[in-house]
C-alpha cells in the first residue's frame, strides 16, 4: 500500500510521552491547536494533517486502511515504539483501525464521539454545497459564508468548512480536492469489516457528547472489551470545541 508523508504540528517537550491527535473529515491540525497546547504541558503532542487534508498531499484513495498505514509510517519516521492516540470522528476511526491492526504500537487509545460502525449519513450535501460556491465571484470569506448559508444553515459548521478556503494569487480556491472527497466520502462514513481481527485489549477510552447519538456502548465492547466510557454533558459531536476544559481533563486523567 502506498503511504504518504504527513505534514504535522508539534507541541511540548520531546522527553514527554508521545500523544498523536487525529482530526476529523474536512478538518486539519489547526483545528486542534488549542487542545494540543493544553495537553502539551504533560505530553509530546503531534497533530498530523491526514492525507487530502490541511497541507498534506492529495491522493485519490482515502479509506481507513490507507490512513492507518500513513499513521504507521508517521510513527516509524519519528522513531517511536509506541504512542497514545486521540482521534475525533474520522480520526477516531483511523485510531481504532490502527489499534486493531497494530496493537503493539498503541499505548492508550482515546476515541472522541465515534464508534467502529458504518453510519448511514451522507456527506453529499456538504461536498455539493462547497462545489457550488462561485469562487470566481467571492471577494472575501464573509461573502463565501453568506452564500453557503442556504445550503449549510449551521453557522459553526459553515465557518469550520470555510477554513479550507484559501487565497492564492489573489483568488479564492479550495485547499481540498473536492472530487476526491466526493468519491471517498462513503469510505469515511463506513468502517472496514473487522471480523477477522482480534479485539484490542489495551487501555481505551471512548468519550461521547451527551447531545450526540454517534456512540452506543454495544457497538464498542466486542472490538474494545477493556474500553472505559465517558459522556460530556451539553456537548454534541464537536465535544472538544463545545466543552474544551472538560474534554482536556478527561484526556489527561486517562
pLDDT over 90 (residue 64) = yes
89 is catalytic: yes
Please state, in angstroms and rounded to a whole number, the distance separating the CA atoms of residues 37 and 32: 9
Based on the residue annotation, tell me whether 237 is a catalytic residue of this protein.
yes
* The one catalytic residue among 179, 213, 222, 234: 179
- Residues 148-155 have a mean pLDDT of 94
Taking residues 179-187, what's their average pLDDT? 97
How confident is the model at residue 40, as a pLDDT?
98
The Cα–Cα gap between 19 and 8 comes to: 13
pLDDT of residue 175: 96
CA distance 28 to 24: 7
- The reported pLDDT for the residue numbered 246 is 98
Q: What is the pLDDT of residues 3-48, one digit of tens each?
A: 999 999 999 999 999 999 999 999 999 999 999 999 999 999 999 9
Taking the C-alpha atoms of residue 237 and residue 252, their distance in angstroms, rounded to an integer, is 20
**H, E, C per residue of the chain:** CCCCCCCEEEECCCCCEEEEEECCCCCCHHHHHHHHHHHCCCEEEEEECCCCCCCCCCCCCCCHHHHHHHHHHHHHHCCCCCEEEEEECHHHHHHHHHHHHCHHHEEEEEEECCCCCCCCCCCHHHHHHHHHCCHHHCCCHHHHHHHHCCCCCCHHHHHHHHHHEEEECCEEEECCCHHHHHHHHHHHHCCCCCCCCCCCCCEEEEEEECCCCCCCHHHCCCCCCCCEEEEECCCCCCHHHHCHHHHHHHHHHC
Q: Can you name the residues that pair with 68 across neighbouring β-strands?
A: none
From the list 151, 129, 99, the residue with the least C-alpha distance to 26 is: 129
Catalytic site includes residue 23: no
All domains in the chain, ordered by first residue: 8-117+190-253 (3.40.50.1820), 123-184 (no CATH)
pLDDT recorded at residue 1? 84
pLDDT at position 121 is: 85
Share of the chain above pLDDT 90, in %: 98
Backbone angles phi, psi at 17, to 5 degrees: -65, 135
User: For residue range 102-145, what is the model confidence (pLDDT) as tens digits?
Assistant: 999 999 999 999 999 999 988 999 999 999 999 999 999 999 99
* Catalytic entry in 29, 66, 89, 113: 89
Neighbouring residues of 174: CB distance < 8 A, sequence distance ≥ 6: 130, 135, 164, 165, 166
The terminus-to-terminus CA distance of the chain in angstroms comes to 33
Which pLDDT tens digit goes with each residue over 198-249? 999 999 999 999 999 999 999 999 999 999 999 999 999 999 999 999 999 9
Amino acid at each position: 500500500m502506498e503511504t504518504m508523508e504527513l505534514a504535522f504540528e508539534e507541541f511540548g517537550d520531546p522527553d514527554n510521552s508521545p500523544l498523536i491527535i487525529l482530526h476529523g473529515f474536512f478538518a486539519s491540525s489547526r483545528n486542534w491547536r488549542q487542545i494540543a497546547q493544553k495537553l502539551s504541558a504533560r505530553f509530546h503532542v503531534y497533530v498530523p494533517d491526514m492525507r487530502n487534508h490541511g497541507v498534506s498531499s492529495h491522493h485519490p484513495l482515502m479509506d481507513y486502511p490507507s490512513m492507518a498505514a500513513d499513521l504507521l509510517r508517521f510513527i516509524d519516521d519519528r522513531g517511536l515504539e509506541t504512542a497514545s492516540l486521540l482521534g475525533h470522528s474520522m480520526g477516531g476511526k483511523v485510531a481504532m483501525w490502527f489499534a486493531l491492526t497494530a496493537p503493539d504500537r498503541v499505548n492508550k487509545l482515546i476515541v472522541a464521539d465515534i464508534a467502529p460502525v458504518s453510519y448511514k449519513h451522507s456527506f453529499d450535501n456538504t461536498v455539493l454545497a462547497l462545489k457550488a460556491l462561485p469562487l470566481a465571484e467571492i471577494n472575501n470569506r464573509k461573502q463565501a459564508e453568506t452564500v453557503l448559508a442556504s445550503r449549510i444553515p449551521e453557522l459553526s459548521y459553515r465557518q469550520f468548512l470555510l477554513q479550507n478556503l484559501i487565497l492564492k494569487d489573489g483568488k479564492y480556491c479550495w485547499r481540498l480536492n473536492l472530487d476526491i472527497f466526493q468519491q471517498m466520502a462513503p469510505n469515511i462514513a463506513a468502517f472496514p469489516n473487522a471480523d477477522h481481527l482480534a479485539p484490542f485489549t489495551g487501555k481505551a477510552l471512548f468519550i461521547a457528547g451527551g447531545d450526540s447519538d454517534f456512540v452506543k456502548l454495544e457497538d464498542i465492547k466486542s472490538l474494545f472489551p477493556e474500553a472505559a466510557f465517558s459522556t460530556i454533558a451539553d456537548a454534541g459531536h464537536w465535544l472538544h470545541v463545545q466543552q474544551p476544559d472538560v474534554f482536556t481533563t478527561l484526556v489527561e486523567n486517562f
